[in-house]
């Protein structure tokens, strides 16, 4: 075996003349391959093609900020003491010296005041966490709105959903660790949420806190979840996520030479490796600048956790905002039946609703695939406008997210804008159901209008801004044809297919209801979409345009005003700016 590899290495001439570096490199590769046999698995990797587009960078931000979290997190573990044992603070921060507090809080203060660079790393860690979750969410929206979740990528879509959930859990566990007044209040709310769980709530609360809240166990337990269990899961799922991206090859935008059968872009070695590697340093560097310039979670201002105290305007980290909003606007429903307490007012907004929101997003690809009955693989991305229902659905979900986020800060909205807080809450109770519906219809019609605009451009060319006056005195705007590449880009998409409702008797009663529902959904999703023009329509439009061009002949270059209306001789005229 070794001989074969050696021979083939020796007999295959290198495509590029071997420089000194390449010769040295090949010796290393040979040594490693003799032992690990990597060449077979790597032969397609070195020059693997990645398509280029700025939106493909969003997931990369999430990946790199996770690496930053690992690096800065390891640094913090060297000083942080995950214990609720009481100590008297004797560190450098004057205002708390002599105060009894947990070791966790005291060591977090030490990291901030007595370890050089500690505050920087703590702030970088917190900022990176915010960037991590934000990047994951924006990346998810990009994947959703371009239809990148379609076959064969459904599994990766689900992995991504679990990663977002784990990211939020990891973030919550992390900012609960310093055991300051704000994070303790957050944990106490978490305890209230857990207790509202039917049947097992009290058991779960007692098990989690080793008895009553706050107890002495929660910080060490959260710590091990935060530094080992959850990051381990995230790391494993990130690895799976990346492997699937490599296996499926990245999606690409429609364009000249880009098809469902190929992937066009730059090779991993050297361009993509350089861009992605360089981007890691940019994410890391920006995080460091944020840690140096922007204060975040100044725990020393909150003081140690005291269960009898709270600060007004308490806010969780931003990604908990929707749960906070849900909790705030939920009506006070509680059922008492057969000696049991059903806290709908806490259980529904705290545990059920966030899961439903995420679950609906996760299930959409399967709903869409069922309605279209489409079994083909898709590697060319949809422009958002070309999937109006999908895009409008995301817009509606974003509006729910935004409203809940605002509801989570209803007290701050009230104080900052001098509004009545109770009316904000009442408004939100209605708005979270009404606004998404409005947003859906507006976004859908907007997409369809944009589709019409694309059709116009393909059929009649782009608007030049030149107003023409005909001999009869009528005014019209001059259109010029778009480039062949642009026209191809706009038309390189599949036509939507509306599923017809089954004719009576065609299907047996059993499947008829599902088929009817499917036909209805298909009509709802696709019937109003504007399809790209057919070859015949295009030909007719061009014929029409040629006729017009004859009338408007004489304009062979760019024009900037009415004197270039095609009816005057413009030889020798300069373009004016």
User: Binding other proteins by CB under 8 A: which of 14, 242, 467, 500?
Assistant: 500
Q: Is 540 in the site for other proteins (CB under 8 A)?
A: no
Residue in 189, 320, 394, 439 binding other proteins, rule: CB under 8 A:
189
The interface region with other proteins, picked from 55-63, 161-169, 205-213, 392-400 by CB under 8 A, is 205-213
298 binds other proteins (CB under 8 A): no
Number of residues this chain uses to bind other proteins (CB under 8 A): 144
Q: Judged by CB, which is closer to other proteins: 416, or 536?
A: 536
**Would you count residue 495 as binding other proteins (CB under 8 A)?**
yes
Tell me the CB-side half-sphere exposure of residue 126, using CA atoms within 13 A. 23
> Tokens at residue 475, please?
């005014």
Distance of closest approach, residue 86 Cβ to other proteins, in angstroms: 5
SS3 of 501, please? Answer: coil
The first and second tokens of residue 48, run together, are 């693997």
Q: What angle do CA 370, 372, 373 make, to 5 degrees?
A: 60
**Of residues 506 and 560, the one with the C-beta less far from other proteins:** 506
Q: Which stretch binds other proteins (CB under 8 A): 46-54, 386-394, 546-554, 566-574?
A: 46-54
- 391's enclosing H/E stretch is helix 388-407
Nearer to other proteins, 1 or 535 (CB): 535
* Contact call for residue 72 and other proteins (CB under 8 A): no
Q: Is the CB of residue 143 less than 8 Å from the CB of residue 62?
A: no
Residue 556 as a binder of other proteins (CB under 8 A): the answer is no
Check residue 79 for interaction with other proteins (CB under 8 A).
no
Q: Does 535 bind other proteins (CB under 8 A)?
A: yes
* DSSP 8-state code for residue 564: G
Which of the stretches 163-171, 311-319, 432-440, 568-576 binds other proteins when contact is defined by CB under 8 A?
A: 311-319
- Candidate residues 80, 175, 213, 300; the one interacting with other proteins per rule CB under 8 A: 213
Q: How many angstroms separate the Cα of 104 from the Cα of each of 109, 127, 170, 228, 308?
A: 9, 20, 18, 18, 19
Q: Does 202 sit near other proteins (CB under 8 A)?
A: yes
Min dist. Cβ of residue 455 to other proteins (A): 10
Residue 485 binds other proteins (CB under 8 A) = yes
Site residues for other proteins, window 107-166 (CB under 8 A)? 113-114, 116-117, 119-120, 123-124, 151-152
Cβ distance 64 to 35 under 8 Å? no
Contact 48, 246 (CB under 8 A): yes
Nearest to 25 by CA among 46, 11, 40: 46
Q: Does 292 bind other proteins (CB under 8 A)?
A: yes
Site for other proteins in 15-44 (CB under 8 A): none
What residue has token string 């990766």?
Answer: 156
How distant, in Å, are the alpha carbons of 110, 122, 139, 224 from that of 93? 9, 16, 41, 28
- CA-CA distance, 440 to 529, in Å (whole number)? 15
Reduced to 3 states (helix: H, G, I; strand: E, B; else coil), residue 424 is helix
Binding test (CB under 8 A) with other proteins, winner from 9, 26, 42, 48:
48
DSSP per position, 56-76: GGHHHHHHHHHHHHHHHHHHH
Does 405 engage in binding with other proteins (CB under 8 A)? no
Q: By CB under 8 A, name the one of 354, 481, 502, 566 that touches other proteins.
A: 502
Least gap, CB of 10 to other proteins (angstroms): 27
CA atoms of 205 and 91, how far apart (whole Å): 34
Please report whether residue 477 would count as binding other proteins according to CB under 8 A. no
CA dist 109 and 92 (Å) reads: 9
Residue 297 touching other proteins (CB under 8 A): no
Any contact of residue 196 with other proteins (CB under 8 A)?
A: yes
Q: Does 289 bind other proteins (CB under 8 A)?
A: yes
Per CB under 8 A, the list member of 164, 219, 286, 353 interacting with other proteins is 286
Helix/strand/coil for 568: coil
| 193 scored as a contact of other proteins (CB under 8 A) | yes
Contact between 497 and other proteins by CB under 8 A: the answer reads yes
Nearest distance from residue 134's CB to other proteins, in Å?
19
Mark the segment that binds other proteins (CB under 8 A) among 25-33, 245-253, 381-389, 395-403. 245-253
Measured from the CB atom, is 9 or 315 closer to other proteins? 315
The answer to whether the peptide bond before residue 152 is cis (omega within 30 degrees of 0) is yes
Question: Residue by residue, what is the 3-state secondary structure of 324-389?
Answer: HHHHHHCCCCCEEECCEEECHHHHHHHHHHHHHHHHHHHHHHHHHHHHHCCCCCCCECCCHHHCHH
Closest CA to 529 of 442, 448, 440: 448
Give the up-direction half-sphere exposure of residue 514: CA atoms within 13 A in the CB hemisphere.
Answer: 9
Cα separation, 540 vs 546, in Å, equals 10
Instruction: Work out whether 288 is an interface residue with other proteins (CB under 8 A).
Output: yes
Q: What angle do CA 555, 557, 561 make, to 5 degrees?
A: 75
What is the Cα–Cα distance from 178 to 5, expressed in whole angstroms?
A: 56
> Using the rule CB under 8 A, which residue among 63, 69, 84, 353 binds other proteins?
84
Is residue 425 at the binding interface for other proteins, with CB under 8 A as the rule? yes
Nearer to other proteins, 368 or 397 (CB): 368
Residue 453 found at the interface with other proteins (CB under 8 A): no
CA-closest candidate to residue 166, choices 276, 47, 319: 319
User: Which of residues 95 and 476 has its CB atom nearest to other proteins in the complex?
Assistant: 95
CA distance 461 to 451: 14
């Amino acid at each position: 075996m070794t001989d074969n590899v050696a021979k083939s290495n020796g007999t295959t001439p290198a495509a590029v003349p071997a420089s000194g570096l390449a010769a040295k490199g090949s010796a290393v590769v040979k040594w490693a391959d003799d032992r690990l046999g990597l060449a077979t698995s790597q032969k397609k990797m070195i020059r693997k093609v990645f398509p280029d587009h700025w939106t493909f960078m969003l997931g990369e931000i999430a990946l790199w900020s996770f690496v930053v979290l690992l690096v800065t997190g390891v640094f913090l573990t060297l000083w942080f003491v995950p214990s609720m044992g009481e100590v008297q603070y004797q560190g450098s921060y004057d205002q708390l010296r002599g105060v009894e507090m947990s070791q966790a809080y005291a060591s977090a203060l030490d990291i901030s005041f007595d370890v050089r660079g500690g505050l920087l790393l703590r702030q970088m860690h917190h900022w990176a966490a915010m960037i991590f979750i934000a990047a994951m969410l924006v990346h998810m929206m990009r994947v959703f709105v371009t239809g990148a979740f379609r076959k064969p990528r459904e599994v990766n879509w689900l992995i991504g959903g679990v990663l977002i959930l784990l990211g939020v859990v990891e973030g919550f566990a992390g900012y609960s660790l310093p055991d300051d007044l704000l994070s303790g209040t957050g944990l106490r709310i978490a305890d209230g949420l857990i207790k509202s769980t039917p049947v097992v709530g009290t058991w779960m609360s007692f098990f989690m806190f080793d008895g009553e809240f706050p107890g002495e166990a929660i910080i060490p337990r959260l710590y091990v979840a935060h530094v080992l269990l959850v990051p381990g899961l995230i790391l494993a799922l990130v690895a799976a996520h990346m492997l699937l991206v490599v296996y499926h090859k990245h999606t690409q935008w429609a364009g000249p030479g880009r098809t469902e059968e190929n992937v066009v872009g730059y090779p991993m070695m050297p361009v993509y490796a350089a861009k992605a590697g360089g981007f890691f340093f940019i994410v890391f560097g920006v995080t460091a600048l944020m840690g140096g310039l922007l204060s975040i979670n100044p725990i020393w201002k909150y003081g140690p956790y005291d269960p009898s105290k709270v600060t007004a305007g308490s806010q969780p980290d931003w990604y908990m905002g929707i749960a906070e909003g849900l909790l705030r606007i939920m009506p006070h429903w509680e059922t008492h039946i057969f000696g049991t307490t059903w806290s709908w007012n806490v259980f529904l907004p705290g545990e059920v609703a966030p899961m439903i929101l995420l679950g609906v997003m996760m299930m959409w690809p399967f709903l869409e695939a069922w309605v279209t009955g489409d079994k083909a693989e898709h590697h060319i991305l949809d422009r958002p406008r070309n999937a109006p229902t999908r895009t409008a659905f995301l817009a509606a979900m974003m509006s729910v997210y935004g409203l809940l986020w605002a509801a989570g800060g209803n007290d701050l909205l009230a104080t900052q804008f001098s509004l009545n807080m109770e009316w904000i809450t009442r408004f939100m109770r209605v708005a979270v159901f009404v606004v998404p519906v409005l947003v859906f219809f507006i976004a859908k019609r907007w997409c369809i209008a944009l589709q019409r605009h694309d059709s116009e451009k393909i059929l009649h060319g782009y608007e030049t801004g030149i107003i023409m006056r005909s001999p009869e005195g009528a005014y019209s705007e001059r259109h010029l044809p778009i480039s062949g590449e642009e026209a191809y880009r706009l038309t390189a998409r599949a036509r939507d297919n509306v599923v017809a409702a089954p004719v009576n008797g065609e299907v047996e009663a059993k499947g008829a209801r599902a088929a009817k529902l499917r036909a209805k959904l298909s009509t709802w999703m696709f019937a109003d979409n504007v399809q790209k023009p057919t070859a015949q329509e295009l030909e007719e439009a061009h014929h029409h345009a040629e006729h017009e061009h004859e009338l408007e002949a004489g304009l062979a270059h760019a024009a900037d005003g009415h004197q270039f209306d095609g009816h005057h001789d413009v030889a020798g005229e300069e373009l004016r700016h």
